[in-house]
Structures are given as structure tokens and as C-alpha cells.
Amino acid sequence: MKTALITGITGQDGSYMAELLLSKGYRVVGMVRRTSLEKFERIEHVRERIDLVQGDLTDQSSLDEAVKNSMPDEVYNFAAQSFVPTSWNQPALTGDVTGLAVSRMLEALRKYRADARFYQASSSEMFGKVMETPQRESTPFYPRSPYGVAKVYGHYITVNYRESYGMYACSGILFNHESPRRGIEFVTRKVTDAVARIRAGKLDRLKMGNLDAQRDWGFAGDYMEAIWLMMQGAEPRDYVIATGHTHTVKDLVDRAFTAAGLDWQKYVETDPKMIRPAEVDLLRGDPSKAKAELGWTPKVQFPELVEMMVRADLERHGVTA
Ligand code: NDP
Ligand code: GDR
């Protein structure tokens, strides 16, 4: 039986990856940080089938202990300060947790389990002010936020440990992926949750930022399959994981409101305070390397994804579609 250590198991991706690995017969160990109130909603349904260890990405000794005690065959490093706007408000913390901490994880592995396979959660935010479209593995990075800059560090330090120490360390450059478990502040979930609250009579206005931004949105469940395949290769390689299709935030808003029988123009207003200091205008990934080498293609398309999220939020708010 293989053992996997997942950092960020309480997040969106960690919870889907835990499910996937359990279904494949892994022993799953999740690293969680100490909080005054437990926030295990996303893993409640698998709680009895996984082991939890306490650790924080800012604390080397806790990472060492997590690795020493779990002796993983595979490590999935999902933990991060992952919200882009917060990275302007907390740039040094984001640099530490999202960037430098990748070195700490790699050092813990190098010391105690150098033959474990390591996955780093790289991001399309590294492409930022894009140098070409679609973005592929060879596209130069031009990050546009402290978050993006920190992810570039995490990406290259992973490449560096692979090349310096021959470790099986790889990165997935994942484009935005969403689900009913997406954090409420990210744009998809913010919109689908607002739609449900409007239908429930709990909200009458929705303030948004830049409606013209374009993103390549996929389903988190599909993307976890790609990550797992990446970790089973004959040698470690980095891959772009995306759908290859792009939509504006306005399109997302329109679809989500329409799915609940609402006209978005009656409820949505833009708030200049929500415009970011520097924006990533357009992301569209080219997943052809993942398709050719991993045999991976996304199953859920954008319209189904939005409908799935609207449906889940309507249910959460007790509204019948
Ligand atoms: P979430 O924000 O949902 O989850 C982040 C996780 O990191 C949580 O479990 C959180 O724990 C944990 N965490 C935060 N800070 C620390 C810390 N100091 N020590 C230990 N754990 C910590 O992110 P996602 O699941 O959406 O994303 C997973 C990873 O993939 C992230 O690295 C993200 O940057 C990256 N990524 C995500 C994409 C997406 O579209 N979702 C696209 C590309 C990359 P807690 O619950 O305690 O807060
Ligand atoms: P992003 O995701 O920054 O791409 O990072 P987010 O959903 O926050 O924003 C997407 C786009 O929507 C625009 N936008 C708004 N965004 C939010 N959050 N709230 C709003 O009200 C709003 N209005 C418009 C944004 O300006 C932006 O252009 C996500 C995170 O999961 C990262 O961790 C990950 O690395 C990248 O995706 C790939």
C-alpha cells in the first residue's frame, strides 16, 4: 500500500485528492495547522479514513516531523496562501508560505525521504502578463502579483531540486479550477453563492471587480486525475493543465444567473475598489503535452461546471432550482 502526504488537505484540491487517492487504495496522511476552531468541512466525509498530522509551512521542524512520521511515497504540496488579492495585503507572508516554504518541504524530503515523489502546485498566475497565447510549458513567466512571484519561486526551486539532487520532483502548471468546494472569495464561488442567496431572498446586490478578465476554468476533480498521472511517470516532468478554452467573468456571471432564472444586469454592479493593482487579463492554457504524454483530457466543460456550482449553492441555501 502506498502512502501519500497531502499538505493543504483542508483546501479544495486537497480534499478532492484525498478522495482520489483513497479510491486507489492509498494510505492518506493530511497535514493540518492548529486553529482554535476546526475547519474540516471539506474532508468531513473522509475524516475516518485518513490520518492527520499537525504542521505549518512556516515551521521547518513540523514539516520534518510530518515527513519522518508518515514516511510517504508521494507528497502533494497543495498548501499555500492562495488568494491573489490577499497577496498584496500580505506580501511577505505570501512570499514565505507560497514561495519559500516549498524549499522547506523539499528539504524535509531530502533529509528524511529523498526517494519520495514530490508534486508542487504551480499556477497559471506565473504567466501573468502573458507573453504568448495559449500558454504552454515553454511560455516565459511574467507574474503580476506577489502571489504569482511566490509561485515562480516554488516552481523553479522544484526544478532545481530535481536537477541538483535527482529527486522525483514535478510541477503542474494548473489553470483556474473550481468546484462546489471552491473557497467563497474566488470569483466563481462568489457568484454562484450570490445567485443562491438572491434566490433565497438574502441578498439584493452583488459587487464585482473586473468583468472583462478572461480565464480558462476547469473542474477541480478532473485536474486531480492529471496530477496523479504526473506523479506516476517514468521520469518527473512539468505539465500545463487547462481546458484550452477561455471565458470572461461577465460570461460566468451571465451563465450563473441564467441557470437560476435571474437577469444578472438587475443585481450586479462593479466596484472600483475591487479592481486589482495589476490584473492578469487573459489566460488560456495549451494542455496538449498532458494529453499526448499522460493521456489526460478534462471531462467537465465550462457550462456544466457553472451549473454544477449553482445547483450545489441553491441546495446549500435551501432553494429548489
Ligand atoms: P485553498 O486555498 O482551497 O487551500 C489552501 C490550503 O493551504 C488550505 O488547506 C490551508 O489550510 C493550507 N494552508 C495555508 N497556509 C498554510 C500554512 N502556513 N501551513 C499549512 N497549511 C497552510 O487552495 P486550492 O485547494 O484551491 O489550491 C491548492 C494549491 O494549488 C494552492 O497552492 C494554490 O495556490 C494552487 N493553485 C490553485 C489553483 C486553483 O484554481 N484552485 C490553480 C493553480 C494553483 P487552512 O484550511 O488551515 O486555511
Ligand atoms: P485568480 O482567481 O486570481 O485567477 O486566482 P479569482 O477567482 O480570484 O479571480 C479570477 C478573475 O476574476 C476577476 N474578478 C473577481 N475576482 C474575485 N475574486 N472577486 C470578484 O469580485 C471579482 N470580480 C472580477 C479577477 O480580477 C480575476 O481576473 C486563482 C487562485 O485559485 C490562485 O490560487 C490560482 O493560482 C489561480 O486561480 C490559477
**What's the 97 CA to ligand 2 centre distance in angstroms?**
19
CA dist., res. 32 & res. 34, Å (int) = 7
Query: Which residues line ligand 2 at a C-beta cut-off of 6 Å?
Result: 82, 84, 123-125, 175-176, 185-187, 190, 208-210, 213, 215, 249, 274, 276, 279-280
**Does residue 239 line the site of ligand 1, with CB under 6 A?**
no
Is the distance from CB of 122 to CB of 135 less than 8 angstroms? no
Spacing, Cα 321 to ligand 1 middle (Å): 31
- Report domain extents, the chain: 3-177+217-241, 183-216+246-280+300-316
Over residues 66-88, the pLDDT tens digits come to 999 999 999 999 999 999 999 99
| Fold observed for domain 183-216+246-280+300-316 | UDP-galactose 4-epimerase; domain 1 (3.90.25)
223 has catalytic annotation: no
Instruction: Work out the average pLDDT over 88-103.
Output: 98
Ramachandran category for residue 201: left, alpha or beta (phi over 0 → left; psi -120 to 50 → alpha): left
162-182 pLDDT, tens digit per residue, is 999 999 999 999 999 999 999
Please report the sign of the dihedral spanned by the C-alpha atoms of residue 45, residue 46, residue 47, residue 52.
negative
Is pLDDT above 80 for 190?
A: yes
What's the rounded mean pLDDT across residues 134-163?
98
pLDDT mean across residues, the chain: 98
User: Which ligand 1 atom is the nearest neighbour of the CA of 15?
Assistant: 25
Asked if residue 18 has its Cβ within 6 Å of ligand 1, the reply is no
174 lines ligand 1 (CB under 6 A): yes
Give yes or no: 225 in active site: no
pLDDT band at 321 (very low <50, low <70, confident <90, very high): low
User: How many Å apart are CA 303 and CA 317, to the nearest integer?
Assistant: 21
The answer to whether residue 112 is catalytic is: no
- Over residues 147-155, mean pLDDT: 99
Q: Is the pTM of this model over 0.85?
A: yes
Mutate to test the pocket of ligand 2, among 94, 122, 249 (most ligand atoms within 8 A of CB): 249
Confidence band, pLDDT 50/70/90 cuts, at residue 320: confident
pLDDT, one tens digit per residue, over 23-40 is: 999 999 999 999 999 989
Tell me if domain 3-177+217-241 and domain 183-216+246-280+300-316 are identical in fold: no
Model confidence at 201: pLDDT above 80? yes
Instruction: Give, using CA atoms, the residue closest to atom 25 of ligand 2.
Output: 210
Q: Who contacts 244 (Cβ-Cβ below 8 Å, separation ≥6)?
A: 134, 216, 284, 285, 286, 287
**Cell representation of residue 75:** 507528497
Q: Which amino acid is at 107?
A: E
Mean pLDDT computed over 99-112: 98
233-244 pLDDT, tens digit per residue, is: 999 999 999 999
State the Cα–Cα distance between residues 86 and 79, nearest whole angstrom: 15
Closest listed ligand to the CA of 241 = 1
Ligand 1 mean position, distance from CA 78 (Å): 5
| Residue percentage of the chain with pLDDT more than 90 | 99
Q: Which CATH architecture has domain 3-177+217-241?
A: 3-Layer(aba) Sandwich (3.40)
